[in-house]
Amino acid sequence: MSPAIEERHETRDTDLGDEELRARLSRTWGSARGLIGILSTVDHKIIGIRYAVTAFVFLLAGGIMAIIMRLQLARPDSHLVDAELYNQLFTMHGTTMMFLFGVPVGEAFAVYLVPLMVGTRNIAFPRLNAFSYYVYLFGGLMLWGGFALSIRPDVGWFSYVPLANLNFTPGKGPDYWAQMITFTEVAALAVSVEIVVTVLKQRAPGMTLDRIPLFVWTMLVHSFIIIFAMPAIMLASSMLIMERLVGTQFFNPDAGGDPLLWQHLFWFFGHPEVYIIFLPGTAFVSAIVATFSRRPVFGYLPMVLSLIAIGFLSFGLWVHHMFVTGLPEIGAAFFTASSMAIAIPNGVQIFCWIATLWDGKPVLKTPLIFVLGFFFIFVAGGLSGVMLASVPIDTQVHDTYFVVAHFHYVLIGGTVFPLVAAVYYWFPKVTGRLMDERLGKWQFVLAFCGFNITFFPMHLLGLHGMPRRVYTYPAEMGWGGLNLLASAGALLFFASFLLMLYNMIASARSGALAGDNPWGADTLEWATSSPPQPQNFDRIPCVTSGSPLWDQGDDNVVVGGLKVDERELVVTSIREARPDIREESPAPSIWPFLAAFATAVAFIGSIYTPWAITWGSPVVAIVLVAWFWPKTIEENV
């Protein structure tokens, strides 16, 4: 008995042939079956898929809210929904799209793809990863569960005080909103830390800083932005809860507080938030443009520097959301300059992608077509953003439908179009099957027309004086025609997502088999099977180029010496990615799920009584102790 175990523990990947190695690694890295197994998994691919599916469900939910609003606004003086419900709808729509869809969907792709792209076997801190997913899920369920039980926030996705204070908004709606923020931010911070460590310490040997795929660079910058931006909103939402629960006076001018403090804190997070949502879109575009042009993206260095510049600049723009609050003019003018400045690194990225397409031989498959839609829409949205950066122009269009049009151009154009492209692009990797091209092109026609018909007229509505967040408008304002047009477009746009859903389900069942690398792409996720084995790679690749699958051809250089029957991965140095040590990666555990559950109970309880923190903390602490309890390696294989 004991010599056998001894021997098995000494087995290294260099000792085995391909077939046997694959089978044994897959057993070592696999997840158990059964309910406990499902809740215990720490496989970044499974968690990434859960993140993505959950985010898509919230996308549909938020989309349905939008459709109801568009039906209400299609005609003047409409009574389809009343003011109360309408205010709940736009609050839930904005909140869901920003916090439960926009941020998590970027994380979903990062969690799934970054470990594959850097050539490692699992994400760093995989149990934290599982924990973060459950926290996100519970936060989303809490908000929507509350909605179903008529506990509905109705003060907008930025919950300005004093409107969100107890005396103007009694009921628990804003508390659920604020606590949902806490949930999703805890989740986002956890994922960001994992991504940063994965990128800096777990890259395949030889993947020096200048060989990191642009996708991964983007996600790295994205994660750093989250780490610096999220604390501001967690502070703000906690202050709001305290204001409402125990009567602190942070925002009350009569007690020495200031309602603008909320706006500063919110937008200090809120503007980086735009880039938190948008950067994953650029990550998808970089990957797709390179693959379908058969060229690495033109200007690797300017691209990376632009990303980092965007990361820094995104923290210096927040006041452009507050131009009409009566701030000192010189201060406001500074933020005009900084807001315009961020157009420069964004422009650099656009020019680099266009240069890549010019230089290569573009293949017009669905992913690239959606990326072309991204150019058309996002550039328009970016340019209307330059208008909003100007203080005088902003005094006219701020808080009107012009702004609604602008940020949908930027967020849908900048994130959702690349996202759909990314779904078509990576679907074969995740499921092993290709999505239908013909349906994909129809979907593009629907989405592109629907989007522009919906949101272009909103620019004009805003200029003609229609403010945001009005549940109805009098007929004599003359806004009826454009609103009707926008509503018709919204139906088309929504239909495009139903078509995508159908395509995904049908293709997952009976789509054409994809093989490892159906698009002839250059990054490492395409070097493994589709779908990838639990261990990602049977042998850890060595990287000698920025486009390993194009340049390294068949010379299959790999790193050897990892244990086969234990979860081991290679830790490399930050700059040169020299192999440093073999590190054990945590095994599945139920404790992250239980910790998330305990955290959720404490958070939800604290909406009702501050004592929930007192009683909840020891429970969370006990669960965390169990989670981190040192164990000897399990030997019950």
Partner 1 sequence: MASLTAAAGGSALASGCTGVQSALNPHGERADALAVLFWIFTAVLGLVWLVTMAGLFFALTRRRDSRGEPAQAHPAVKRPVRIAFAAMLTSTVIILSGLAVLSFDGQRAVFGDGAGAAVTISVIGHQWWWQVRYEGNNGFETANEIRIPVGSAVDIKLTTGDVIHSFWIPSLAGKLDLIPGKSNELRIQADKPGVYRGQCAEFCGQQHAHMAIFVVALEPSEFERWRAKQAAPARSMAHLAKQSVFASAASSPFAALSEHSQ
How far apart are CB 595 and partner 1 at their closest, in Å?
Answer: 37
Nearer Cβ to partner 1, position 26 or 395?
395
Residues 538-597 that bind partner 1 (CB under 8 A): 547, 550-551
The CB-of-417 to partner 1 minimum distance in angstroms stands at 14
Closer residue to partner 1 in complex, CB, 6/476: 476
Residue 379 engages partner 1 in binding (rule: CB under 8 A): yes
For partner 1, the closer CB: 108 or 389 = 389
Does 336 interact with partner 1 (rule: CB under 8 A)? yes
Which of 296, 367, 440, 511 lies at the binding interface for partner 1 (CB under 8 A)? 296
> Closer to partner 1 at the Cβ: 197 or 463?
463
Q: What H or E segment, with its residue span, contains residue 558?
A: strand 558-559
Nearest distance from C-beta of residue 556 to partner 1, angstroms: 18
Q: Which long-range contacts (CB under 8 A, 24 or more apart) does 122-125 make?
A: 122/29, 122/42, 122/43, 122/44, 122/536, 122/567, 122/569, 122/585, 123/44, 123/194, 123/195, 123/198, 124/194, 124/197, 124/198, 124/201, 124/202, 125/190, 125/193, 125/194, 125/197, 125/586
User: 553 exposed, middle or buried (CB, 10 Å; 0-12, 13-18, 19+)?
Assistant: exposed
CB atoms within 10 A of CB 501: 12
Binding-site member from 228, 312, 375, 407 for partner 1 (CB under 8 A): 375
Interface with partner 1 includes 325 (CB under 8 A)? yes
Decide: is 478 part of the binding site for partner 1 (CB under 8 A): yes
At residue 96, what are phi and psi to the nearest 5 degrees? -65, -45
CB 266 within 8 A of CB 250: no
156 binds partner 1 (CB under 8 A): yes
For helices 44-73 and 126-148, angle between their N-to-C axes, nearest 10 degrees:
30
Asked if 624 is part of the footprint of partner 1 (rule: CB under 8 A), the reply reads no
**Nearest one of 175, 161, 160, 154 to 246, comparing CA atoms:** 175
**Smallest gap, in angstroms, from Cβ of residue 90 to partner 1?**
9
Residue 193 makes CB contacts below 8 A (sequence gap 6+) with: 125, 128, 223, 227
Least distance in angstroms from the C-beta of 147 to partner 1: 18
- Rg of the chain taking only CA atoms, in angstroms: 25
Looking at 4-12, 126-134, 377-385, 613-621, which segment touches partner 1 (CB under 8 A)?
Answer: 377-385
Which residues from 383-442 bind partner 1, rule CB under 8 A? Answer: 383-384, 386-387, 389-400
- Indicate whether 469 belongs to the interface with partner 1 (CB under 8 A): yes
What's the rounded Cα separation, in Å, for the pair 371 and 282?
A: 10
Per CB under 8 A, does 522 bind partner 1?
yes
User: Is residue 473 near partner 1 by the rule CB under 8 A?
Assistant: yes
CA–CA distance, 487 with 450 (Å, rounded to integer): 9
Q: Decide: 180 and 99 in contact? Cβ < 8 Å.
A: yes
Q: Toward partner 1, which CB reaches closer, 324 or 633?
A: 324
In eight-state DSSP terms, residue 166 is T
Within 158-217, the residues that bind partner 1 by CB under 8 A are 160, 162-163, 168-169
- By C-beta, is 224 or 375 nearer to partner 1? 375
How many angstroms separate the CA atoms of 175 and 244, rounded? 8
Q: Does residue 518 have a cis bond before it (omega within 30 degrees)?
A: no
Site for partner 1 contains 479 (CB under 8 A): yes
Handedness of CA 275, 350, 419, 489 (dihedral sign): positive
Q: Which is nearer to partner 1, 259 or 531 (CB)?
A: 259
Min dist. Cβ of residue 496 to partner 1 (A): 22
> Among 158, 400, 179, 387, which residue's Cα sits nearest to residue 260?
158
Nearer to partner 1 by C-beta: 392 or 630? 392
Least Cβ distance, residue 337 to partner 1 (angstroms): 6
Question: 């993505």: which residue's tokens?
Answer: 52
Nearer to partner 1, 390 or 529 (CB): 390
Closest to partner 1 by CB, 324 vs 557, is 324
| 632's tokens | 């000897």
Which two structure tokens, joined as six digits, stand for 41? Answer: 């998994």
Find the part of the chain contacting partner 1 (CB under 8 A) among 60-68, 97-105, 464-472, 566-574: 464-472
- Span near partner 1 by CB under 8 A; candidates 17-25, 222-230, 463-471, 561-569: 463-471
By CB under 8 A, tell whether 333 contacts partner 1: yes
* Phi–psi pair at 634, nearest 5 degrees: -65, 135
Task: Look up tokens 């910058």; give the residue.
Answer: 221
Among 75, 172, 294, 582, binds partner 1 (CB under 8 A): 294
Q: Cβ 262 to partner 1, closest distance in Å?
A: 10
Q: Which of residues 240-269 bind partner 1 (CB under 8 A)?
A: 252-254, 258-260
Work out which of 348, 499, 514, 596 binds partner 1, going by CB under 8 A. Answer: 348
Subset of residues 68 to 127 that bind partner 1, contact rule: CB under 8 A: 83-84, 87
- Smallest gap from Cβ 197 to partner 1, in A, equals 31
300 lies in the site for partner 1, by CB under 8 A: no
Q: Provide the minimum distance between the beta carbon of 364 and partner 1 in the complex, in angstroms, as a whole number.
A: 8
Q: Does 456 bind partner 1 (CB under 8 A)?
A: no
Helix (H) or strand (E) holding 569: strand 568-572
CB atoms inside a 10 Å sphere around CB 440:
23
